Copies of this chain bind each other. A is one copy, B any other.
Amino acid sequence: MIKSKISNNSKILILGGCRSGKSSQALQLAENMGPRRIFVATCVPHDKEMQRRVDLHRHERGDSWTTREVPLDLAGTIRKTGSSADVMLVDCLTLWLSNLLMENDDEARIKESIRDLAQAVGSAACGVILVSNEVGAGIVPENRLARHYRDLAGWTNQAMAAVCDRVVWTVAGIPVTIKPSPQECAP
């Protein structure tokens, strides 16, 4: 677990590869940020199998969480709902980006959405925890859309890291705080 203090309206980005333990880490952090917790799921189930998984996750989180399914308008949701929550946990940004791309793959429009989200996060009335995937450390994909997606995911992560107080890189379930830097953290 992360030892140093998290203030109540901290903005935190949790980054890592697939199955690196990002979501568990995010849930644990949120538990210490106040009782009014909103889980913002960017995954909207399209079939029964997905619905069952989503229900299972909701059950595992327990009654202390309110769940909202928000495939696209994260910025608006944070602006409208932030003042009634202690913490909003968005899981995850890379799926949000997929949703944006599937709706309309115009790069200028997507970059505007990224900037708008960064603005909403940075000025949110409550704590915000963002979960996102690192997808750019493998071989360059042959598929053009995948290359575009990976560029946009990198830009998203940079934009969010810039407005967050804290960035955590997760490896094999272990959280490594990279912002503030370990040197700055030291006593």
Contact = CB atoms under 8 A, between A and B. Distances in A.
A169 interface: yes
Given A17-B137, A142-B143, A176-B178, 7 more contacts: A18-B137, A19-B151, A19-B157, A161-B172, A162-B173, A169-B171, A182-B182
22 contacts: A3-B183, A15-B171, A17-B136, A17-B154, A18-B136, A19-B151, A19-B154, A20-B136, A20-B157, A134-B137, A135-B139, A136-B139, A137-B138, A138-B138, A139-B149, A158-B172, A160-B172, A161-B173, A161-B174, A169-B171, A176-B181, A182-B182
A171 to B, nearest CB: 5
A132 to B, nearest CB: 8
A121 to B, nearest CB: 13
A97 B39 CA distance: 33
A79 interface: no
Q: From DSSP, what is the main secondary structure of chain A's interface residues?
A: mixed
B171 A19 contact: no
Q: What is the interface residue range for chain A against chain B?
A: 35 or more
Interface string A143-187: 100100111011101101110000101011110101101111111
Contacts of A4: 183
Interface of A: 3-4, 13, 15-21, 134-143, 146, 149-151, 153-155, 157-158, 160-162, 167, 169, 171-174, 176, 178-179, 181-187
A8 B151 CA distance: 33
